[in-house]
Amino acid sequence: MEDLRPVDRKILKLLEKDARLSYADIATVVGLSEEDVRARVDDMERAGIIRGYKGVIDWERLDSDGVSAIIELKVTPKAGLGFEEVAARVAKYPEVEAVSLMSGAYDLNVVVRGKTFHEVAYFVAHELSVIDSVTSTATQFVMRRYKEFGVNLTEDEPDGRGQISL
């Protein structure tokens, strides 16, 4: 798509904060028609700028037995391909929620989600660590999540204000 305009950035910020905001409300805020907003959003989806819309869910509030782990991978980069090939390969696993290339002591940061501790451990041992260019793995299990996607997962602070003040 053509260069992003300031209004597009504003639309993105609004959607990033609340993807359920209606086109009508977005239109009111940015001063475009609803049709124009819809068209801008469609364009940004097609251009791959908007990659999806997901809920922020605190599974720990349910009796969910899922576990997450952060796996640090050290990788020997391939000539001409760098880390791209191995990163793309790791990203293919449905168990993998996130893959990032890091500066510092290791190369790829991989977030893995599984049903049990055992399942994640098995996945690391039998899938990730056996990839040729992976030279080492370090697995850290997530004990508790406090904040995700900028959303606080701990108890909400009550509003504390009355109904009316001047």
* Interacting residues toward another protein by CB under 8 A: 14, 18, 21, 25, 28-29, 31, 157, 159, 161-166
Shortest Cβ 152–another protein spacing (Å): 11
Q: Tell me, what amino acid is at 69?
A: A
Residues contacting 36, CB < 8 A, separation 6+: 27
Shortest Cβ 38–another protein spacing (Å): 17
- Selection from 110, 72, 80 nearest residue 92 by Cα: 110
Q: Which residue's entry shows tokens 């995700």?
A: 148
Pick between residue 144 and residue 161 the one whose CB is nearest to another protein: 161
Shortest Cβ 163–another protein spacing (Å): 4
Q: How many CA atoms lie within 13 A of 60 on its CB side?
A: 12
Indicate the length of the chain as a whole number: 166
Shortest Cβ 51–another protein spacing (Å): 23
Pick between residue 22 and residue 64 the one whose CB is nearest to another protein: 22
Pick between residue 21 and residue 91 the one whose CB is nearest to another protein: 21
